Amino acid sequence: MLRVMKFGGTSVGSVDAVRQVTQILADAYRQGDRVAAVVSAMSGVTNQLLEAAAQAAAGNDQAHTQLRQALIERHRDTATALLTDSQRQHETIAHITALADRCSRLVESVHVLGHLSRRAEDWIASFGERMAAVLVAAALNQAGIPAEPVESDQIIVTDDQFGNASPLLDVTRERAHSILVPLLERGMLPVVTGYFGATLNGAVTTLGRGGSDYSAAILGYALDADEVWIWTDVDGVMTADPRLVPEARTLPAISYAEAAELAYFGAKVIHPRTMQPAASRGIPIWIKNTFNPDHPGTRIGPETVPNGSVVKAITAIPGISVITVEGSSFLSVADVTARVFEAVAKTGANVYMIFQASSQHSLGFAVRQHEAAMVHAALTREFELDLHKGLIARISEDSQLAIVAVVGAGMKGTPGVAGRVFNTLGQAGINIVAIAQGSSELNISFVIAEHEVARAVPAIHAAFGLASVPDSTHGTGITEPVTRSAVAPGN
Ligand code: ADP
Ligand code: ASP
Ligand code: MG
């Protein structure tokens, strides 16, 4: 059995957390399984790195020295508390300091240039994971497990879409086989950095924020792993974000498609692209709580597991803007639509929802608020002449909105779900800005004011009785696929 186990920022964010991670990895290793670990940066470190890089570009000549000090202090203090052997402690701190020095020099060069390129930003952002891997490997060695930190720019090969790179899976597979497999065969436990890879030319690229989950699935694919385990700070994928809905329940099993839909529409617990490589090889993904390892967590796999509820979960994405293009009857709807989305695609902005009724000459779509000005400017350029001639009436932006999505494969062909959602919102007096339902019928999503999310999500959660859905698959007739282990994690 080969398992890839990924630990998120909170799971490696403190001395106690790293001790817990060491225990989990050591237990799995001692059971005789081959284990590859993937680690995120300590919580808050990636934000700190990006902030320092931005400050340096904006002219702050102290940003790199302040960053260096903060990085060294946080990781050194953790190493000192964690490691008892003075030689090991000394070597680990020297390694961390060398990484902080390299990172600080990069931030300094951003200041000298007065410019932060996407490429430099990704390189700088990768240092949190590099330092965390050194710490976790040292803690494992202390526990008697032969472990080694491995930097993922040696293994995960990607395209050059800095900030949101995609893996080149075949080359990555070759690298994993030449670097990680020999380590695993020697009985080592590789501790691989999450979040980043590199282009074929060696330029560091990141897989998007929260991308360490994706790294784990890419490595699971590349190593033909039996399972990928994502260890985080909640008991699994839940019926809603427990920070918004305290009575949210853990979903024992969901499909890859449902998980991707939930993640895409805001469930931060898993990166939306994680499911792609796992699904292509049918590798199950378990979501588990580092701080409550006895809880069975959530299994994400090929099959949809009915739990007696048509709706599985409610998610939300705050910080959304809706852009509306209002045309006139002189332009064809198809022509305007094609030009709008070609112009938007060139900006690289992600479009979350599209709303249009072809009888109306208006087209709306939702983007992240921080990308809205860029999108608006691109459309104004594209339609400059049409605006001037009055063929396009206006291009407008509404901000401080949120998308809420109601997700579940059981909605397919079940009438009345939309009615119940909108009735609930109506009773709560929440205005709906726009509505969309994908033809896959996996979700119904709609746009509301951002400040209404805290009322809307709990109200819909209650309307579908999600606080009382069974948290076990017993009696559903669903059994584990025969080709995979039927042993629940934690046993
Ligand atoms: P990690 O650092 O381990 O990657 P994240 O902070 O990225 O962890 O993701 C875990 C967080 O996701 C949880 O603390 C929780 O607040 C949030 N979350 C949002 N939606 C959900 C959901 N549907 N189920 C579980 N957690 C969710
Ligand atoms: N450390 C990275 C981030 O904060 C990646 C991750 O946590 O998955 O986005
Ligand atoms: Mg995460």
The three-class DSSP label of residue 369 is: helix
CA 240 – ligand 1 centroid, Å:
10
Closest listed ligand to the CA of 207: 2
Band (328; pLDDT cuts 50, 70, 90): confident
Quote the pLDDT of residue 358: 58
Asked if the model's pLDDT at residue 477 lies above 50, the reply is no
pLDDT at 226 over 50: yes
Q: Up-side HSE of residue 465: CA atoms within 13 Å toward CB?
A: 9
Q: According to CATH, what is the number of the domain 314-468?
A: 3.30.2130.10
Mean pLDDT computed over 156-172: 97
Distance 195 CA to ligand 3 centre (A): 10
Nearest CA to ligand 2 atom 5: 210
Banded model confidence at residue 415, pLDDT cuts 50, 70, 90? confident
Q: Identify the pLDDT of residue 475.
A: 36
> CA-CA-CA-CA torsion for 279, 151, 209, 235, nearest 10 degrees?
60
Span from the CA of 230 to the centroid of ligand 1 (angstroms): 11
CATH fold of 2-233: Carbamate kinase (3.40.1160)
What tens digit of pLDDT does each residue of 189-222 get? Answer: 999 999 999 999 999 999 999 999 999 999 999 9
Contacts 24+ apart (CB under 8 A), 470-477: 470/307, 470/308, 471/249, 471/250, 471/251, 471/252, 472/252, 473/252, 473/253, 473/305, 473/307, 476/305, 476/306, 476/307, 476/308
The per-residue pLDDT for range 52-81, each reduced to its tens digit, is 999 999 999 999 999 999 999 999 999 999
| CA nearest ligand 1 atom 9, residue | 269
pLDDT for the residue 330: 61
Name the residue of 43, 209, 219, 271 whose CB sits within 8 Å of the most ligand 2 atoms, as the mutation to test its pocket: 209
Q: For ligand 1, atom 4, which residue shows the shortest CA distance?
A: 8
DSSP string for residues in 164-211 = S--B-HHHHHHHHHHHHHHHHHTT-EEEEE-SEEE-TT--EEE--TTT
Start and end residues for every CATH 3.30.2130.10 domain found in the chain: 314-468
Rounded CA separation 204/49 (Å): 15
Look at residue 269 and give its three-state secondary structure.
coil
pLDDT of residue 134 exceeding 50, the answer is yes
C-alpha–C-alpha distance, residues 156 and 440, integer Å: 32
Q: What number does the ligand 2 atom closest to the CA of 213 have?
A: 8
**Ligand 2 center from residue 215 Cα (angstroms):** 10
Mean pLDDT of 457-464: 96
Q: Which of 5, 6, 46, 271 to mutate for ligand 2's pocket (most ligand atoms within 8 Å of CB)? A: 46
What average pLDDT score do residues 308-332 get? 88
- Alpha carbon nearest to ligand 2 atom 2, residue: 210
Residue among 12, 40, 127, 192 whose CB has most ligand 2 atoms within 8 A, to mutate: 40
Q: Give the integer Cα–Cα distance in Å for 58 and 104.
A: 16
pLDDT given for residue 491 in this prediction: 32
pLDDT band at 481 (very low <50, low <70, confident <90, very high): very low
Q: Which atom of ligand 1 is nearest to the CA of 210?
A: 7
158 C-alpha to center of ligand 3: Å? 20
Q: What's the Rg (C-alpha) of the chain?
A: 24
Residues of the chain with CATH 3.40.1160.10: 2-233
β-bridge mates for residue 205, sequence order: 197
Q: Which residues contact 100 (CB under 8 A, 6 or more apart)?
A: 67, 68, 71, 72, 75, 127, 131
Q: With a cut of 60, say whether residue 483 has pLDDT above it.
A: no
* Closest approach atom of ligand 1 to CA 230: 3
Q: What is the pLDDT of residue 229?
A: 98
Confidence check: pLDDT of 474 > 70: no
**What pLDDT, on the 0 to 100 scale, is given for residue 360?**
62
Tell me the average pLDDT of the chain.
Answer: 92
Nearest alpha carbon, ligand 1 atom 12: 269
From the CA of 213, how far away is ligand 3's center (Å)? 7
Q: In whole angstroms, how far apart are CA 368 and each of 108, 165, 293, 319, 380?
A: 30, 19, 35, 6, 18
Q: What pTM does this model have? A: 0.92
Q: Which residue has the tokens 């989990």?
A: 24
Per-residue pLDDT at 44 exceeds 80: yes
Ligand 1, pocket residues at CB < 6 Å: 8-11, 40, 210, 232-234, 237-238, 240-243, 267-269, 313
- pLDDT tops 90 at residue 440: no
- CA 40 – ligand 2 centroid, Å: 6
Residue 484 scores a pLDDT above 50: no
Q: Count of CB atoms within 10 A of residue 459's CB? A: 18
Looking at residues 265-288, what average pLDDT do you find? Answer: 97
Atom of ligand 1 nearest to the CA of 262: 23
DSSP, collapsed to helix, strand or coil, labels residue 295 as coil
Task: Write the pLDDT tens digit of every residue in 361-404.
Answer: 788 999 999 999 999 999 999 999 999 988 888 999 999 999 99
